[in-house]
Amino acid sequence: MNAPHGYLGGLAPVEEGHSIQSLAIVSDAWHPQVNGVVRTLSTTCDILRARGIRTTVLSPEGHRSLPCPTYPEIRFALKRPGETGRALAQDAPDAIHIATEGPLGLAARKYCLAQNIPFTTAYHTQFPSYAARRTHLPAATFWPYIRWFHRPSKAVMVATFSIREELRAQGIGRLHHWSRGVDLACFSPDAPPPPEFDGLPRPIQLYVGRIAVEKNIEAFLKTDHEGSRVVVGDGPARARLQARYSDAHFLGRRTGRALAGCYAAADVFVFPSRTDTFGLVIIEALACGTPVAAFPVAGPADIVTNRVGALSPDLKRAMAAALTANRNDCVAHAARYRWSAATDQFLAGLRPLASKGADQGGAVA
């Protein structure tokens, strides 16, 4: 079952007396990590603060930490027992949002349940699929933990209709839609091209993102479509893939307008991941006028239409079809994804928490 493409979900009505003036977000994912979770949370925090909402982030930043097994870029904070709860008690926010299922998220969950404080959570990452790729255990091994973690949440925030239906099938309820946005001032078709693209055979096929096993980048690199394959980003799998696919061009990490220029100068953006819940890079590429080729899975299936790209189990076929898309249509499609609207949705999910201790529920089902 698929929602209409570009589905943004309904916003809960604003109730008098239930505005959020202060918020605590608890996240194991934070700067200096570079991923969609961190970008989503940091952008949302910036907008909330600009609206006058006092927003505190409890993260590993400033604390001793240990690397996550098999994923050293992610650090698990080492905090004393009760430290997270004491920080939340001192902050005394109107709402608490637990963004991740890691150690900090667990500590905040424990505190909220012990104090009978309602909270919301988010499903940012296909944790069972990620863990399965890294441990070689079935994804079903990890779903009981996900169900347990989110069960007490007053609203589990999800980015796409497909993920919402998957969580519902797994027995997770109280689901609330929270979409994503793109910075149109940064990501636009007029971004200057990178010098590395000069002279590359066309079409230029681009991947942007973390270079890690769960991103399935090798499915892109082993395609034999004519033209040039370019990878922008960094991660633990880079050295191995760069050695194995020496004909591909690895440019390293790019940000801001330099990243936008890579999107805008490419002929097609390739998104090979099968485990993402959304894919911010998809709408960044579209905002730069670049059509998208991807597998027909959650994330791409909720964003990409045949006017702005192509989905196929055969990635090479998807690339060929995407190359025929109209670049102006891509720009117009991306403009539907606004961070201000996404932040409205986020706040709508928090409204049931405004009356502390009241089991109001009220999340969009």
* Assigned domain for 360 exists: no
Are residues 221 and 172 part of one domain? no
Report pLDDT digits (tens) over 298-322: 999 999 999 999 999 999 999 999 9
Query: CB atoms < 10 A from the CB of 177, how many?
Result: 26
19: pLDDT strictly greater than 90:
no
Report pLDDT digits (tens) over 88-123: 999 999 999 999 999 999 999 999 999 999 999 999
For residue 11, what pLDDT band results from cuts at 50, 70 and 90?
Answer: very low
Are residues 308 and 343 part of one domain? no
Report pLDDT digits (tens) over 25-37: 999 989 888 889 9
Are residues 205 and 148 part of one domain? no
Q: What is the pLDDT of residue 348?
A: 93
DSSP alpha helices (H): ranges in 151-224? 161-169, 217-221
* Assigned domain for 166 exists: yes
* Assigned domain for 26 exists: yes
Q: What is the pLDDT of residue 182?
A: 98
Provide the CATH number for the domain around residue 348: 3.40.50.2000
Are residues 88 and 221 part of one domain? no
Are residues 177 and 33 part of one domain? yes
**What is the rounded CA–CA span in Å between residue 148 and residue 161?**
22
Report pLDDT digits (tens) over 310-361: 999 999 999 999 999 999 999 999 999 999 999 999 999 996 554 444 443 3
% of the chain residues with pLDDT over 90: 78
Are residues 162 and 248 part of one domain? no
Report pLDDT digits (tens) over 204-221: 999 999 999 989 999 999
Are residues 175 and 100 part of one domain? yes
Q: What is the pLDDT of residue 74?
A: 58
According to DSSP, the β-strands at 95-98 and 204-208 are unpaired
Average pLDDT over residues 53-75: 72
For residue 255, what pLDDT band results from cuts at 50, 70 and 90?
Answer: very high
Q: What is the pLDDT of residue 79?
A: 63
For 307, the domain range is: 195-334
* Assigned domain for 358 exists: no
* Assigned domain for 159 exists: yes
Give the DSSP per-residue string, 233-256: ---TTHHHHHHH-TTSEEEE---H
Q: What is the pLDDT of residue 64?
A: 59
How many domains would you assign to the chain?
2
* Assigned domain for 14 exists: no
**What is the rounded CA–CA span in Å between residue 127 and residue 140?**
11
* Assigned domain for 9 exists: no
Are residues 226 and 175 part of one domain? no
Are residues 324 and 203 part of one domain? yes
Are residues 327 and 345 part of one domain? no
**What is the rounded CA–CA span in Å between residue 28 and residue 106?**
10
Say if residues 73 and 236 touch (Cβ distance below 8 Å).
yes
Average pLDDT over residues 69-83: 63
Burial (CB count <10 Å: 0-12, 13-18, 19+), residue 253: middle
**What is the rounded CA–CA span in Å between residue 133 and residue 246?**
24
Are residues 148 and 58 part of one domain? yes
